[in-house]
Chains A and B, each alone.
Chain A
Amino acid sequence: MTVAQEQQINQRGASHEEPVREQLVLGNPSMKDITARIASIVESKITTKYLLTLGLTMSMAGLGLFALYYTITTGIGVWGLNNPVGWGWDITNFVFWIGIGHAGTLISAILFLFRQKWRTAINRSAEAMTLFAVVCALTMVLSHTGRPWLFYWLLPYPNQMQMWINFRSPLAWDVFAVNTYFAVSLMFWFVGLIPDLATIRNYVKSDLAKKIYSFFSLGWTGSTRHWHHYEIAYMILAGISTPLVLSVHSVVSFDFTVGIMPGWHTTIFPPYFVAGAIFSGFAMVMTLMVIAREILDLKQFITLKHFENMNKIILATGMMVGYAYAMEMFIAWYSGSQWERWIFINRALGDYAWAYWTMVLCNVVSPQVYWFKKARRSIPLMFIISIFVNIGMWFERFTIIATTLHHDFLPASWGYYTPTWVEISIFIGTFGIFLTLFLLFAKFVPVIAIAEVKAIMPGAQPSHHHDHAHAPAAVEAH
């Protein structure tokens, strides 16, 4: 699609029915067009380009898995960790991936409850991204221990050792938080998928595909009764997910705040982590959507309006983390604790100052361009800034972990941490896993929530009966 065409569509969209509000679906397609358009992605032949891309991401994943194998068979010593710095890229990546996931939940649950119609174009892929990000986070957290084969000792289960886990440990809370998060997100995503899977089931031609889609669509017929139950279930799951948006990253931040290390032991962390998580999550959604929109030709559904809304959120959350950085510094001074003061000065001026300032530049400075509408609607710019934000948020976690640990209380035990190729490979590997899963998702699952998009079409009024019975009575009807 050329720029001219796009503009044309934009104009057309804007001129239809709702002249004041920007259209969320461009080109005024019919219900049938929408179904056909989305289903065609699943239906179409697998291209060489797709296979090549998949090959690349799977190689990345393979590299990571090899590095994990090496780590598990040889020991954590193949990483660069040492005695003062017990955590490095492992936990940095864990928090990074958990954070990435947050946008998905926010979009699917909170924006749903707030009736933000624009979420429908991106919620499906954002939710998928959440799941895949949590998979990566789990990979990191499972492999980071010294004896990963004993991971199940972190679960409270009846055992011959007659040992409970230590419920006072934030890491035990993490286990619950992350697992709950994963389970609820998976359920939410799957429930939302059911009507669309049924649609695909009806579209696909091969028997095998039909069987598979039939299995996963759980016998969905689109009856009113189904819709009724579906919507209640969806609403409840949205309700359950909502507190998770706040709780998961708060709990993750407890890993630091419960510790007594200067730079960790601070009450600002829970809100600051949640804001940061949403910040990074939206940035990741942005990165993926810009690419997917181009490759899968979804400009009709994912419009500049969507991007603009997301950029506004990025700007807002970016300001929040910027505020948090400033407040951390202020409190470090205000606390009167020499340890706190020193660690923050060391963050800004010490051995890891480069990481700190990378973080500030990426997270605080770069989103400031979004004060301008032009910037908010510029695809190349938002792509670059979304990547900046991801880099910045990764460095935020790295800064918190490394600067605090490498120079803590007793100068005699100070050290420095540099990652090895193994850690870097594992990080690349998590990206490989993430992108591989996302590619598979984009090909085999409807990337846009067909039913929900239809519900925000102009014709989707409760009274408006249409050929496509799938088009639900929109949520507004309830």
Chain B
Amino acid sequence: MSDRSLHASNGTTWQSLEQLAGTQQPTGEFGPGQVTGALVDSKVSRRGFMTIMSASMALTAAACRRPMQHLVPAVKSNQTAIPGLPLDYATVYCHRNVAYGALVTTREGRPIKIKGNELHPSNCGTSSTEMQASILALYDPERIRRPRVRVGGGATSYDNAVSKIAAAIQDAQGAGKKAVLVIDEHCSPSMAAMLTEITTTIPAVSVVTMPAIGADNVAVANQAVLGVNGELVPDLGKARVIVCVDADPLGTDKLALHHTGRYAARRTPASGAPSMSKLIVAEAQYSLTGANADQRTRLHPSQVEAYLAVLESEILGATAIGVDVAGKASEATRAAAKKAAADLRAAQGEAVVLAGRHLSPKANAMALNITNALGGVGTGKVVDPANVLPNSDAKGSAVSALVNDLNAGSVHALVFVGVNPEYSASRTFRAAIVKAPVRAAVNLYEDETAAICDISIPGSHWLESWGDAVAFDGTLSVRQPLIAPMNDGIGSTEDTLMNVARKIDATLFGGAESYYDYVKNRWTTVGDWQKVLHDGMLASPLAPSTATVNAWAGASLPAGNMDTGMTVMTVPSLALYDGAYANNAWLQELPDPVTKVVWENVALMSPEAAVAMGVAESLQPKALANANGKVVSIETEHGSVDLPVWVQPGMANDVIAVSLGYGRTAGGSVALNAGVNAYGLSGWAAVGYTAAKSVSVVQGALHKVACSQDHHTLDDGSGERPVAKTLTVGDVEAKDFSSLNEHFPGAGDDGKYIKPLSIVADYEYKGHRWGMVIDMSSCTGCSSCVIACQSENNIPSVGKEQVLLGRELHWIRIDRYYTGSMEEPSTVVEPMLCQHCENAPCENVCPVAATTHSPEGLNEMTYNRCVGTRYCLNNCPYKVRRFNFLNYTDNITSPMDLVFNPDVTIRMRGVMEKCTFCVQRLHKAKWHARDEGRARIKDGEAITACQEACPAGAIIFGDTNDPESRVSKARYGERGFRVLSELNVRPQVTYLAKVRNIDGRTAGHHAAADHGAEH
């Protein structure tokens, strides 16, 4: 333990339970600012030794301790860290340049779970899939541990490697050439200040920000129209009508976590207040946002901007800048746009139009013009010009300039910091990289870029390094590390940059010894260091922006020029985003919320396109299913790839959508052989449309695509099943919920299931009785809950082969159902987990009583007792039980084993497992209540991991015996129904029907339920 350790932990802690309860109470008597602990005694007492031994696996594995400067054993352990109890630290996670407040749970010095910080306005306590899964990268055994100075060479000293980079910079300076730092987009004020300090002091050094996935067009448009060089962050919670034109705010957008929360807030109408927002989507692919749309139009890329232009003409009339573009609109496009325009007009002041980041500057300008014309732009409005994403200015010119410099031979050294352009950049850029004589990389992995750099220094994980961040609304945070960098004593990435710079000019950084000092010194002028460490954020309201829209300024911007014909659309991956975290089995195995494909990317195309291309024989579901996995070769002007076909209902015809982020050729064994690198299909900025030169079927090639949800969902009969029920806003207004429970108008404890006659009395639940409510109306299917559950409950990833066999282990899955036609489907998603049936069919069939009911209504699984007959799995109507067919954890190598939650058993092969309602959290809450002398725990004191993560707040868990609890109130709500309640299994999870903001009524729709049998 060290003084740093105490510094970091004192006053920065939220003890788990208070945090869970949302009280944000500082840790007991050791509140902020209080310094405790003695570091002086170098003798290690037996107790101290035992504490350290038991408290930390640091002695056996890679450096699991708080960052330290001096190795002084603590006789008294850090008193805030009680062995066996989790401790939460507030920090900040940056999804590229988007700051999300994070709380990281540590156990005995090792971080085990990443959660959201409720105080942070970007995510309000929720967390995204990537954010949570990034903990796996921390412990990834395949990270770079040691520096080297030659490709293929052995490890060298850190100092040597740093000196080599410094020498290269000095050489550059001497030769009048440049040394360029290539970094990813970030949102750290300290990082920006440090880089400025370096570039001003050492003029040879310049910095180029080069994200894998760019959004220059947005910044260009905003600059022209609004005078803001950056991306604006609309507030979907303030919008009553949202029109997304090929934009995906709920899916692949960097701000999806933020947007989902704000969007969901207006998606849960009640008969008392039936107002809800309306989401209109016009797009070429079938995005997650499109899947959630109330009204959706599929458009060929050549029509997308025309749609937007018609919309603009409708709203702005003569002042529209896109009249020429509107001329391209087909009749159908025009009609759809007019319909959307009517909706927009009706929502004056509460409407927003979002254009895809990849659409032309003019398209983005048009979108802003429409929003502005409807009164949506201004301080406190839907689009507040002050809310700009940090570091989101246009970067394309700088990148082009770098390419030119490289080709001109004026760049002597290239230092890649946390970027991987060799994987993601365009062909021109990659060809230019090698022209820099000295190349260095400070990356987490030995990735494609590190592999072409002589000098490689291990980078640090965000949980290992100090830093800070600013959110789009000005909220400031300090990123405090949770663990010392696990790279053989080398500091953080930022420290490495400082060390390099100091080799050249020792006077830099105002005497700050480390990046920690640097960040802290800067903070002395900003705010209370202890408080920001404790809270994880510091509100810093932005000055109201005076920017106003100059609609005509966008007129001269270039418009998109997509032609009809086959077009390739490259999109960020819903699971991997740009691929930086590709070596992450959780993310690789996270079913894509739309396609449900795992472990790879596919060529998504509409059913008609599949037929036209000859991969499917007909539009019959079986024929389409057979098309999946056939291989097509796609060629654009930038390059060509072979990809397996995946038929995606709802796609526009003549479009192939491909996810980026897959097909890594270096950077860890998990990422290898997972999909195909689609960056080669598009140019700079990666995302968007590219005309396909040719698309041909690779005859005879068949690729097995792993999909977590059987493709038979396209099959007849399945859609007729009343399992995922929906309503229209008209039903809610008319207070008609009869379609939800038409099978059982009868009783049940809340009218949601039947109670047939029984010769035995029901068990009386006297204490707590746990139940859950899932609101399908706010759930977007983002799948954060899946990763949250995986992280909390030590659920292993099983790998593609096992998913192909149908053996994924996720305890919560997002069932996706289509309704409507194959061309224009509507999607409804239904998170499915153990329903903890009161009358559980799994329990009575287990011959060894390994699964039983608890007095608190939990369906409990006793792993130790399970012999693995799998009868319970067979008899579960929800098929939520998961069997360990093989030992899925035996390939976990150190230090990956440190990621496990010590409160949850690791299951061996031959054992059944399933959702426990996070029983370990319930127990902890109960112990806490007992310590405080309470008989019952308070509502909200125990929440499940899925609930905690859910950005939409769609999951409510609690005690249904407490009539005042949130879950009780929601459960008795009018939209409630239970899945398969007719089986009399009495599930304890109530679903609230999804409400679509569409015209018409649902009544009688479900009456067609047993239609399926007549096929």
- Residues on A with C-beta less than 8 A from B883 are 76, 81, 83, 86, 146
Please state if B849 and A166 are interface contacts (CB–CB under 8 Å).
yes
Q: Does A261 contact B (CB under 8 A)?
A: yes
Please state if B980 and A146 are interface contacts (CB–CB under 8 Å).
no
Please state if A175 and B845 are interface contacts (CB–CB under 8 Å).
no
Q: Does A342 contact B (CB under 8 A)?
A: yes
Please state if A412 and B869 are interface contacts (CB–CB under 8 Å).
no
Expressed in whole angstroms, the minimum distance between the Cβ of A418 and any Cβ of chain B is 9
A153 and B862 CA atoms in complex are apart in Å by 14
Q: Does B747 contact A (CB under 8 A)?
A: no
| A77 with B885, Cβ < 8 A, contacts A144-B869, A405-B874 known | yes
Expressed in whole angstroms, the minimum distance between the Cβ of A322 and any Cβ of chain B is 23
Q: How many residues of B contact A (CB 8 A)?
A: 64
Q: Does B927 contact A (CB under 8 A)?
A: no
Q: Mark B882-914, 1 if CB is under 8 A from A, else 0.
A: 111111000000000000000000001111100
Q: Mark A47-80, 1 if CB is under 8 A from B, else 0.
A: 0000000000000000000000000001111111
Please state if A82 and B815 are interface contacts (CB–CB under 8 Å).
no
Which listed residue (A76, A169, A414) contacts B868, Cβ 8 A? A76
Question: Which stretch in B275-283, B647-655, B732-740, B1007-1015 binds the other chain?
Answer: B1007-1015
- Residues on B with C-beta less than 8 A from A87 are 870-871, 874
Please state if A345 and B1013 are interface contacts (CB–CB under 8 Å).
yes
Which listed residue (A80, A163, A172, A175) contacts B865, Cβ 8 A? A163
Expressed in whole angstroms, the minimum distance between the Cβ of B716 and any Cβ of chain A is 10
Please state if A147 and B882 are interface contacts (CB–CB under 8 Å).
no
Please state if A154 and B886 are interface contacts (CB–CB under 8 Å).
no
Please state if B867 and A412 are interface contacts (CB–CB under 8 Å).
no
Please state if B1013 and A338 are interface contacts (CB–CB under 8 Å).
yes
| Residue among A74, A171, A416 with most chain B CB within 10 A | A171
| Residue among A259, A261, A346 with most chain B CB within 10 A | A259
- Residues on A with C-beta less than 8 A from B884 are 75, 146
Please state if B806 and A415 are interface contacts (CB–CB under 8 Å).
yes
| A408 with B877, Cβ < 8 A, contacts A76-B910, A84-B806 known | yes
Q: Does B802 contact A (CB under 8 A)?
A: yes
A338 and B1012 CA atoms in complex are apart in Å by 7
Please state if A147 and B866 are interface contacts (CB–CB under 8 Å).
yes
Q: Mark A321-364, 1 if CB is under 8 A from B, else 0.
A: 00000000000000011100110011000000000000000000
Q: Does B709 contact A (CB under 8 A)?
A: yes
Q: Which chain A residues (78-118) contact chain B, with CB distance < 8 Å? A: 78-87
Question: Which stretch in B55-63, B105-113, B717-725 binds the other chain?
Answer: B717-725
Please state if B845 and A410 are interface contacts (CB–CB under 8 Å).
no
Please name the residue on chain A nearest to B709 by beta carbon: A412
| A409 with B873, Cβ < 8 A, contacts A164-B849, A165-B847 known | no
Expressed in whole angstroms, the minimum distance between the Cβ of A93 and any Cβ of chain B is 15
Expressed in whole angstroms, the minimum distance between the Cβ of B706 and any Cβ of chain A is 12
Q: Mark B678-703, 1 if CB is under 8 A from A, else 0.
A: 00000000000000000000000000
Q: Which chain A residues (257-287) contact chain B, with CB distance < 8 Å? A: 258-261
Q: Does A20 contact B (CB under 8 A)?
A: no
- Residues on A with C-beta less than 8 A from B805 are 77, 80, 82
Q: Does A247 contact B (CB under 8 A)?
A: no
Expressed in whole angstroms, the minimum distance between the Cβ of B847 and any Cβ of chain A is 4
Q: Does B206 contact A (CB under 8 A)?
A: no
Please name the residue on chain A nearest to B868 by beta carbon: A146
Please state if A151 and B867 are interface contacts (CB–CB under 8 Å).
yes
A322 and B875 CA atoms in complex are apart in Å by 27
- Does more than half of chain B's interface fall in helix, strand or loop, or is it mixed? loop
Expressed in whole angstroms, the minimum distance between the Cβ of A463 and any Cβ of chain B is 56
Please state if A146 and B710 are interface contacts (CB–CB under 8 Å).
no
A165 and B805 CA atoms in complex are apart in Å by 32
Please state if A77 and B886 are interface contacts (CB–CB under 8 Å).
yes
| A153 with B710, Cβ < 8 A, contacts A338-B1012, A342-B1012, A409-B980 known | no
Please state if A336 and B844 are interface contacts (CB–CB under 8 Å).
no
Please state if B813 and A412 are interface contacts (CB–CB under 8 Å).
yes
- Residues on B with C-beta less than 8 A from A413 are 709-710, 813, 815, 832, 878-880
A359 and B1012 CA atoms in complex are apart in Å by 25
Please name the residue on chain A nearest to B1009 by beta carbon: A338
Please state if A146 and B879 are interface contacts (CB–CB under 8 Å).
no
- Residues on B with C-beta less than 8 A from A258 are 844-845
Q: Does A145 contact B (CB under 8 A)?
A: yes
| A166 with B885, Cβ < 8 A, contacts A336-B1010, A338-B1012, A411-B712 known | no
Please state if A412 and B815 are interface contacts (CB–CB under 8 Å).
yes
Q: Does A168 contact B (CB under 8 A)?
A: yes
Please state if B870 and A86 are interface contacts (CB–CB under 8 Å).
yes
- Residues on A with C-beta less than 8 A from B1009 are 338
Q: Does A201 contact B (CB under 8 A)?
A: no
- Residues on A with C-beta less than 8 A from B713 are 411-412, 414
Q: Mark B785-816, 1 if CB is under 8 A from A, else 0.
A: 00000000000000000100111100001011
Please state if B712 and A76 are interface contacts (CB–CB under 8 Å).
no
| Residue among B806, B868, B878, B883 with most chain A CB within 10 A | B806
Please state if B873 and A86 are interface contacts (CB–CB under 8 Å).
yes
Q: Does A454 contact B (CB under 8 A)?
A: no
- Residues on A with C-beta less than 8 A from B880 are 413
Expressed in whole angstroms, the minimum distance between the Cβ of A161 and any Cβ of chain B is 8
Q: Does A150 contact B (CB under 8 A)?
A: yes
Q: Does A470 contact B (CB under 8 A)?
A: no
| A260 with B877, Cβ < 8 A, contacts A86-B870, A175-B847 known | yes
Please state if B867 and A150 are interface contacts (CB–CB under 8 Å).
yes
A86 and B873 CA atoms in complex are apart in Å by 6
A342 and B718 CA atoms in complex are apart in Å by 10
Please state if A83 and B882 are interface contacts (CB–CB under 8 Å).
yes
Please state if A171 and B845 are interface contacts (CB–CB under 8 Å).
yes
Please name the residue on chain A nearest to B985 by beta carbon: A260
Expressed in whole angstroms, the minimum distance between the Cβ of A230 and any Cβ of chain B is 38
- Residues on B with C-beta less than 8 A from A165 are 847-849
Please state if A84 and B879 are interface contacts (CB–CB under 8 Å).
yes
- Residues on A with C-beta less than 8 A from B881 are 83
- Residues on A with C-beta less than 8 A from B1015 are 345
Please state if A342 and B909 are interface contacts (CB–CB under 8 Å).
no
Which listed residue (A81, A163, A169) contacts B871, Cβ 8 A? A169
- Residues on B with C-beta less than 8 A from A81 are 870, 883, 885
Q: Which chain A residues (124-155) contact chain B, with CB distance < 8 Å? A: 144-148, 150-151, 153-154
Please state if B874 and A259 are interface contacts (CB–CB under 8 Å).
yes
Q: Which chain B residues (57-115) contact chain A, with CB distance < 8 Å? A: none
- Residues on A with C-beta less than 8 A from B808 are 83
Please state if B873 and A260 are interface contacts (CB–CB under 8 Å).
no
Please state if A168 and B844 are interface contacts (CB–CB under 8 Å).
yes
| A410 with B879, Cβ < 8 A, contacts A77-B802, A260-B841, A416-B710 known | yes
Q: Does B993 contact A (CB under 8 A)?
A: no
Please name the residue on chain B nearest to A420 by beta carbon: B805
Expressed in whole angstroms, the minimum distance between the Cβ of B373 and any Cβ of chain A is 43
| A75 with B910, Cβ < 8 A, contacts A83-B806, A153-B867, A260-B983 known | yes
Interface residues of B (CB under 8 A from A): 709-710, 712-713, 715, 717-721, 723, 802, 805-808, 813, 815-817, 830, 832, 841, 844-849, 865-871, 873-875, 877-887, 908-912, 979-980, 983, 985, 1009-1010, 1012-1013, 1015
Task: Identify 15 new A-B residue pairs, CB closer than 8 A, beyond the known A76-B868, A76-B885, A341-B1012.
Answer: A75-B884, A75-B910, A81-B870, A87-B871, A87-B874, A145-B870, A153-B848, A163-B848, A165-B848, A336-B1010, A341-B1013, A405-B874, A410-B877, A410-B980, A412-B813
A sample of 25 cross-chain residue pairs with beta-carbon separation below 8 angstroms, ordered by A number, consists of A74-B886, A76-B885, A77-B807, A83-B808, A83-B881, A83-B882, A86-B871, A86-B883, A146-B911, A147-B867, A148-B867, A153-B865, A166-B847, A166-B849, A169-B871, A337-B1010, A342-B1013, A409-B721, A410-B723, A410-B877, A410-B878, A411-B723, A411-B817, A413-B832, A415-B710
Interface residues of A (CB under 8 A from B): 74-87, 144-148, 150-151, 153-154, 161, 163-166, 168-172, 174-175, 255, 258-261, 336-338, 341-342, 345-346, 405, 407-416
Nearest first, the 6 A-B pairs at minimum CB distance are A146-B868, A146-B910, A82-B806, A341-B1013, A77-B885, A86-B870
